[in-house]
Structure formats: structure tokens, C-alpha cells
């Protein structure tokens, strides 16, 4: 029951994958009705994964009504309304296309495809079927990042000159770390599609284009520091095909210049996603380790008091915050997924798609493809649009 007394319709979820993202999404669907008035009540109907014992344990913990080993059966089930793809990148295209053809709503983890060709097929499929679709680029739903979007859209920064983003980790430095298989599929290029470009930079690119518009051209450099690793599935030492580090320069359609960097070799950094935007009148900075704060500098402030403001994003007039606690009490990472579920369900109730849709996410696939092509050719590459 909603606060206005209207009944919520049930929406049966088929979750593919019970790993890291299977947990964040299951939590989002479990929590969304507690905090947001949305027209649907998600029902955790089926979780799909290949290890039956672990899938059963996951289903018990999260309250899924059934477990299935084959995603095709979930996609074909008339009981399921929405397929949520929280499995590795090599599964996204096949599952999303089949789900769209079966007339299901589709939510998919990022990156959309392992490359833009897969992303195009997925986008075509959901658009041909006319089904609601969304990609879980969750950083858009951090209240501080949403506030940054509002400030930019209000014109407070003026003309934008610079965009700067980094996503730094350090978990693959050991030469002993194998590639491939459970938990390590990100190091296997056949499964992941690319390394940090499609994994970490994809987040930075999605946020950047949402905040600052389209990217027209890029020039990048990538490096694979550890050239071979044992493969967990074959037991053999095999060449490593992913990029361990990736950096690129970009030009946006609005004339601003950007630098992007991602690596899994920045010792000491676990998940440091930072972004900074410099405009003619004001600048903003945000970082994931302090995600409930937005740094804001406004050159129009009185000279004697001009300086960086450190805004604590916990007031009810900050994006999403009126749904949570009281001023001064902050929220965290998992809430971004709850916000995304809420926005998706509200949009579906209005017969719309919430962003980022598959088509929005395809634009990120075009940029990551261009970055990898430019790194290979050592040139500037125009981004497909």
C-alpha cells in the first residue's frame, strides 16, 4: 500500500547472478518500497546461478521464492516481468536480447556490452520490443553527484573548461593472482571485453557525459603491466589480454577538455573515483571515499570569504535525501542502487524509461571502443554517435 492509499502492482524479478551486484540489486528491490512511494512492489521471484547450493543459500538469505540454473528458463517464464542482469560482461548481450524478445523489462549491469557491437544489438532488441530498460550506472544516483548535475544545469558553473576523472584501485598488482573464473573474470579479456577501460572508466565516462554532454574525440594510452597469468579454469599460464591501466584525453561537444585515468595498480587506492569540473564561474569536486560531500567553489562569492565549500549532502532539499534520515545523517553506496530502482519503477509507472537507458549506455560503449582503438593506433579517434 502506498501512502496515498493506492495499491502497488507486483513486479516479479528474475535476478541473473548472485555475486557483488546480485546483492546490491536484491537489497535495492527489497528496500525500495520502505523508503520511496513507487507504483510497483518488486517481488524477488527467481535467482539464477549455476552453483545450486550457493544459489539456494542466497535465495534463503534474500527471500527469493525459487532458484534456477539456466537463465533461459527464467527469461521464458511467464511469471517473470523483469530480468535483471547482474552477471559477468560476456553474458549481458545474449541474456538482454533474449529477455527483450520475450517481452520482459530489462535492467543490466554496466558496461552494456563487451564492445559497442554487442551494445548496439542489445539496444536494438529492447527498442524493437518496446520494453523498459536501464543500465545500472549507479554513480549518477549519489546525492552529491546529482546535486552537481543540478548546479551545472542551473548554469552556476558557466562555460565549462575542464573535466577531470580518475578511478584508482590496487587489487591486481600481485603476479601470483590468476586470471579467469569466479571472482577473477575481470582479468580474462574474453569474459570482460577489456580491462579498466570497460570496467572503471565506463563509470567515469557515463557520469561525465551525463554532467557535461557528449564526447567527440579521444586519444588514449593503455598498458598491461603483467603480461601473463595462470588461468583459473585451464590451469595454464596464458597471455593477459586486458588493459591494467588506461588514460585518455577527450574533447567534449561543448569545447571543454578532459583527462580520464583508471588503473588497478595505484597502490593504496581501493576504489578512489574522483571527478572535478572547472567552469568560468565555479568549480566542483567529488570523491567516492567521501561520497556524501560535494566541494564547491564559486568565484562570485565576496572576495574576502571566497573559498572551497565542503557541502555535507544530508538535508531534505538535497537530491533523494528527504527519503532518508534527519539532517546530518549520511547514507552510502548501497543507497545509490535503491535510488536507481526507485527511479526505474516510477518511470515505468508513467510509461517511460529512466536514464541511463540502453541507448544512453551505448554512447559509453562507443567512447570505450574509441579509447581502445586510439591506444592501439596511437592517434586521436572520433567517437561514433
Ligand X SMILES: NC(=O)c1ccc[n+]([C@@H]2O[C@H](COP(=O)([O-])OP(=O)(O)OC[C@H]3O[C@@H](n4cnc5c(N)ncnc54)[C@H](O)[C@@H]3O)[C@@H](O)[C@H]2O)c1
Among 11, 13, 14, 22, binds ligand X (CB under 6 A): 22
Tell me if residue 283 falls in helix, strand or coil: strand
Residue number with CB closer to ligand X (12 or 41) = 12
Single out the segment in contact with ligand X by CB under 6 A; choices: 12-20, 35-43, 160-168, 288-296.
12-20
Residue number with CB closer to ligand X (216 or 232) = 232
List, edge to edge, every strand of the sheet that includes 381-382: 308-312, 293-298, 282-287, 272-279, 160-168, 257-263, 245-252, 215-223, 381-382
H helix intervals, 293-356: 333-349
To ligand X, the closest distance from the beta carbon of 188 in angstroms equals 11
18 touches ligand X by CB under 6 A: yes
Determine if the peptide bond prior to 143 is cis (ω within 30°): no
Whole-angstrom distance, CA of residue 174 vs CA of residue 14:
37
Among 26, 33, 91, 197, binds ligand X (CB under 6 A): 91
Single out the segment in contact with ligand X by CB under 6 A; choices: 16-24, 112-120, 214-222, 344-352.
16-24
160 touches ligand X by CB under 6 A: no
Tell me if residue 87 falls in helix, strand or coil: coil
Single out the segment in contact with ligand X by CB under 6 A; choices: 32-40, 88-96, 287-295, 352-360.
88-96
Tell me if residue 324 falls in helix, strand or coil: coil
201 touches ligand X by CB under 6 A: no
21 touches ligand X by CB under 6 A: yes
Single out the segment in contact with ligand X by CB under 6 A; choices: 13-21, 28-36, 163-171, 353-361.
13-21
Query: Under rule CB under 6 A, how many of the chain's residues touch ligand X?
Result: 22
Which of the 8 DSSP states describes residue 8?
Answer: P
> Which residues lie closer than 8 Å to 207 by C-beta, 6 or more apart?
137, 139, 140, 145, 165, 275
Single out the segment in contact with ligand X by CB under 6 A; choices: 87-95, 155-163, 231-239, 369-377.
87-95
Integer angstrom CA distances of residue 62 from 25, 49, 58: 11, 14, 6
17 touches ligand X by CB under 6 A: yes
140 touches ligand X by CB under 6 A: no
Whole-angstrom distance, CA of residue 334 vs CA of residue 53:
26
Q: Quick check: 122 and 248 in contact, CB under 8 A?
A: no
Residue number with CB closer to ligand X (13 or 160) = 13
Residue number closest to ligand X, CB atom: 19
Among 40, 64, 136, 163, binds ligand X (CB under 6 A): 136
Integer angstrom CA distances of residue 158 from 256, 284, 315: 12, 12, 25
Whole-angstrom distance, CA of residue 336 vs CA of residue 360:
18
Whole-angstrom distance, CA of residue 97 vs CA of residue 115:
15
String marking each residue 40-79 x if it binds ligand X according to CB under 6 A: --------xxx--------------------x--------
131 touches ligand X by CB under 6 A: no
Among 15, 16, 211, 313, binds ligand X (CB under 6 A): 16
To ligand X, the closest distance from the beta carbon of 107 in angstroms equals 11
Whole-angstrom distance, CA of residue 8 vs CA of residue 2:
7
Subset of 99-128 contacting ligand X (CB under 6 A): 109-110
Single out the segment in contact with ligand X by CB under 6 A; choices: 11-19, 114-122, 148-156, 271-279.
11-19
Residues that bind ligand X (CB under 6 A): 16-22, 48-50, 71, 86-89, 91, 109-110, 136, 138, 183, 199
Amino acid at each position: 500500500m502506498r501512502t496515498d492509499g493506492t495499491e502497488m502492482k507486483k513486479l516479479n524479478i528474475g535476478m541473473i547472478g548472485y555475486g557483488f551486484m546480485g546483492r546490491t540489486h536484491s537489497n535495492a528491490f527489497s528496500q525500495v518500497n520502505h523508503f520511496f512511494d513507487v507504483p510497483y512492489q518488486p517481488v524477488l521471484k527467481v535467482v539464477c546461478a549455476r552453483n545450486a547450493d550457493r544459489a539456494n543459500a542466497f535465495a534463503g538469505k534474500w527471500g527469493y521464492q525459487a532458484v534456477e540454473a539456466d537463465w533461459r528458463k527464467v527469461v521464458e517464464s511467464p511469471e517473470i516481468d523483469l530480468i535483471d542482469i547482474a552477471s559477468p560482461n560476456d553474458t549481458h548481450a545474449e541474456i538482454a536480447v533474449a529477455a527483450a524478445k520475450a517481452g520482459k523489462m530489462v535492467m543490466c549491469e554496466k558496461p552494456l556490452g563487451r564492445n559497442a557491437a554487442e551494445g548496439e544489438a542489445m539496444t536494438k532488441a529492447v527498442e524493437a520490443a518496446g520494453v523498459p530498460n536501464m543500465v545500472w550506472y549507479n554513480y549518477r544516483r549519489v546525492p552529491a553527484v546529482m546535486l552537481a548535475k543540478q548546479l551545472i544545469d542551473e548554469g552556476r558553473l558557466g562555460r565549462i573548461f575542464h573535466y577531470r576523472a580518475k578511478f584508482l584501485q590496487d587489487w591486481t598488482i600481485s603476479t601470483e593472482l590468476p586470471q579467469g573464473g569466479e571472482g577473477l573474470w575481470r582479468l580474462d579479456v574474453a569474459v570482460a571485453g577489456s580491462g579498466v577501460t570497460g570496467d572503471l572508466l565506463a563509470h567515469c565516462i557515463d557520469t561525465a557525459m551525463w554532467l557535461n554532454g557528449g564526447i567527440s574525440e579521444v586519444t588514449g594510452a593503455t598498458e598491461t603491466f603483467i603480461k601473463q597469468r595462470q588461468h583459473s579454469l585451464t590451469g595454464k599460464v596464458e597471455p593477459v589480454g586486458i588493459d591494467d591501466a588506461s588514460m585518455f584525453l577527450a574533447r567534449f561537444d561543448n569545447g571543454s577538455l578532459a583527462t580520464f585515468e583508471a588503473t588497478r595498480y595505484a597502490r593504496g587506492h581501493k576504489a578512489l573515483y574522483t571527478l572535478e569540473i572547472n567552469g568560468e564561474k565555479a568549480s566542483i569536486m567529488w570523491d567516492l571515499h567521501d561520497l556524501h560531500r560535494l566541494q564547491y567553489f564559486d568565484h562570485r562569492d565576496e572576495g574576502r570569504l571566497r573559498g572551497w565549500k565542503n557541502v555535507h549532502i544530508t538535508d531534505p532539499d538535497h537530491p533523494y535525501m528527504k527519503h532518508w534520515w534527519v539532517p546530518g545523517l549520511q547514507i552510502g553506496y548501497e543507497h545509490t542502487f535503491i535510488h536507481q530502482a526507485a527511479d526505474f519503477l516510477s518511470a515505468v509507472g508513467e510509461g517511460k524509461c529512466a536514464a541511463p537507458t540502453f541507448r544512453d549506455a551505448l554512447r559509453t560503449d562507443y567512447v570505450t571502443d574509441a579509447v581502445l582503438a586510439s591506444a592501439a593506433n596511437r592517434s586521436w579517434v572520433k567517437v561514433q554517435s
